[in-house]
Amino acid sequence: MKINGSAALVTGANRGLGKAYARELVKRGAARVYGAARDPAAVTEPGVTPIALDVTDPERAAQVAAQCADVTLLVNNAGVMAASTFIGAPNLDAARLEMETNYFGTLRMCRAFAPVLAANGGGAIVNVLSVTSFYTNPFNASYGASKAAAWSLTNGVRLELHHQGTLVVAVHAGFIDTDMAALVDAPKISPESVAQQVFDAVEADRIEVLADERSRFIKASLSHDHELIYPPVQEFWDAAVKGTG
Ligand SMILES: NC(=O)c1ccc[n+]([C@@H]2O[C@H](COP(=O)([O-])OP(=O)(O)OC[C@H]3O[C@@H](n4cnc5c(N)ncnc54)[C@H](OP(=O)(O)O)[C@@H]3O)[C@@H](O)[C@H]2O)c1
């Protein structure tokens, strides 16, 4: 689909990757860019229309779909990462928050906007996933589970919306240089680069973006995950547990 002249809605548009998406959409000539955020006053990008939205709020998601009935491109970007292990976490609160935001929030938005996209000729949905959709890292274990679930839903939504001509794009990346990865001391891709790759994919009708070397390596290694992916992750985790990492 063409970005030029489209009407797009980006969730979590107030900072990080969502802000870069909104800016890139304006740059590419989108006729309308809705910047959805829990605090709409924090959406200050020129050319972006602020919209109040918490993706965990079902009533508000339905209201936004009714209010933004011209949308042809939905970018499900809002996400949370609690850096929580499966076994060591004190309780299930982090795992539930991540699942409620990253999985149910994305599913809720896909369901709310599917009829809007159908009415507007098909359009596209972009779901921002992660390299951790493909494998588990104990450092953000329950986040990975929520992104694996969101990967599954992305593949399913693509099948279910094929009949109405909706392009459904999965975006996977390792570390992106935003608040979410602020404490990570490792190579990071810029949010601007991710935004450019994603909208290039949308314009070329491509269904998957592997935005960096890490996500390309991990996806290519899946059939040998226990030989290629997990041994170094285990080694790193064991060293961290012993306090030598
Ligand atoms: N950074 C990375 O290394 C990385 C790598 C791969 C994938 N991702 C994914 O990229 C996406 C964007 O993350 P980011 O890196 O830009 O992180 P970020 O800087 O922490 O931004 C997260 C955004 O999501 C919003 N958000 C969180 N919960 C929300 C909710 N319930 N309703 C509405 N908005 C909500 C935040 O809003 P508030 O300001 O209100 O908190 C913020 O705008 C996420 O889906 C993340 O999982 C990030």
**Each residue's pLDDT tens digit in the chain (245 positions)?**
999 999 999 999 999 999 999 999 999 999 999 999 999 999 999 999 999 999 999 999 999 999 999 999 999 999 999 999 999 999 999 999 999 999 999 999 999 999 999 999 999 999 999 999 999 999 999 999 999 999 999 999 999 999 999 999 999 999 999 999 999 999 999 999 999 999 999 999 999 999 999 999 999 999 999 999 999 999 999 999 998 65
Q: For helices 106-119 and 141-161, what crossing angle results, to 10°?
A: 20
As a 3-state breakdown, the chain gives helix, strand, coil percent values, each rounded to 5, of: 50, 15, 35
Instruction: Give, in order, the Cα–Cα distances in Å from 149 to each of 10, 105, 130, 134, 228.
Output: 20, 12, 11, 10, 22
Q: Which residue has a Cα nearest atom 29 of ligand 1?
A: 78
* Cα 79 to ligand 1 centroid, rounded to whole Å: 4
178, 14 contact by CB (below 8 A): no
- H or E stretch covering 240: helix 230-242
* Cα 224 to ligand 1 centroid, rounded to whole Å: 30
User: How many CB atoms lie under 10 A from the CB of residue 212?
Assistant: 20
In this prediction, residue 179 carries a pLDDT of: 97
The span from the CA of 139 to the CA of 128, in Å, is 20
DSSP label of 87: S
Is residue 143 annotated as part of the catalytic site, yes or no? yes
* Cα 78 to ligand 1 centroid, rounded to whole Å: 5
In this prediction, residue 41 carries a pLDDT of: 98
Catalytic residue among 21, 34, 103, 143: 143
